[in-house]
Each structure stands twice: as C-alpha cells, then as structure tokens.
C-alpha cells in the first residue's frame, strides 16, 4: 500500500512539472509577440527624416522658445504626417526629445 501511495505521489509531481513547462513556453511566446509589437510601434515612430533646424516652421521654433527658453535644437526630423521630432539640449546640460505638429502643438509619443 505504501508503494502505491508513493507511485501516485511521484506521478502527480511529474504531471505538475510538465504543466509548468507548458506555461513557461506560452509565456515565452507571448513575450516574443509583445516584443515584436513594441518593435513595430517604435519603427512606426522612427519614420522620421532628418532636416536642418532652419527648415522648421516658425510655429515649432516659437513653441520651443516659449516652453523651453534655454533650449537649443540640436537635430530636427520630419515624418510623412508633418510631425516633427526635435532633439534638444538645455543650458544645464540635460537633453531630450520633443515631438510637435506643424502648428507647434506638442505631441506625446
């Protein structure tokens, strides 16, 4: 009788080990799919072509001057939707990226 209980305990342990492996594989597949989706979003956001800072519309440069008076525009980019990606640096040494439309309205990306 003890042997029967021992065999049942071992078989139950084996089944749970296989179930965990399956869950881990499913989690890994979901993680890969999520990573691919994030990469697609980043690629869509990075469809910007570099332009000279003096080619920016007046509304965009005015918005930068108004909201970030100590900022200088290091690089500027544009996409097909006339949205601008601006790499700016402040006098205190911090840097960042801003997004704006052609009317100088800020866009969150």
pLDDT tens-digit profile of 51-106? Answer: 999 999 999 999 999 999 999 999 999 999 999 999 999 999 999 999 999 999 99
Provide the domain count of the chain. 2
pLDDT at residue number 43: 46
Examine the pLDDT at 20 and tell me if it is beyond 70.
Answer: no
pLDDT (mean) for 28-46: 53
CB 58 within 8 A of CB 66: no
Residues 92 and 59 in one domain: yes
Domain that holds residue 18: 1-45
Residues 27 and 66 in one domain: no
Residues 54 and 69 in one domain: yes
Residues 20 and 63 in one domain: no
Selection from 60, 54, 57 nearest residue 104 by Cα: 60
* Residue with the larger pLDDT of the pair 16 and 86: 86
73 φ/ψ sector (left φ>0, alpha ψ -120 to 50, else beta): beta
Residues 1 and 39 in one domain: yes
């Amino acid at each position: 009788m003890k042997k029967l209980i021992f065999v049942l305990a071992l078989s139950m342990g084996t089944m749970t080990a296989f179930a965990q492996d399956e869950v881990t594989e499913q989690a890994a597949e979901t993680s890969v799919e999520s990573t691919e989706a994030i990469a697609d979003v980043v690629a869509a956001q990075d469809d910007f072509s570099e332009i000279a800072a003096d080619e920016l519309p007046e509304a965009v440069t005015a918005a930068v001057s108004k909201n970030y008076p100590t900022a200088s525009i290091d690089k500027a980019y544009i996409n097909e939707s006339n949205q601008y990606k601006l790499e700016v640096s402040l006098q205190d040494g911090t840097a960042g990226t801003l997004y704006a439309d052609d009317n100088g309205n800020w866009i969150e990306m």
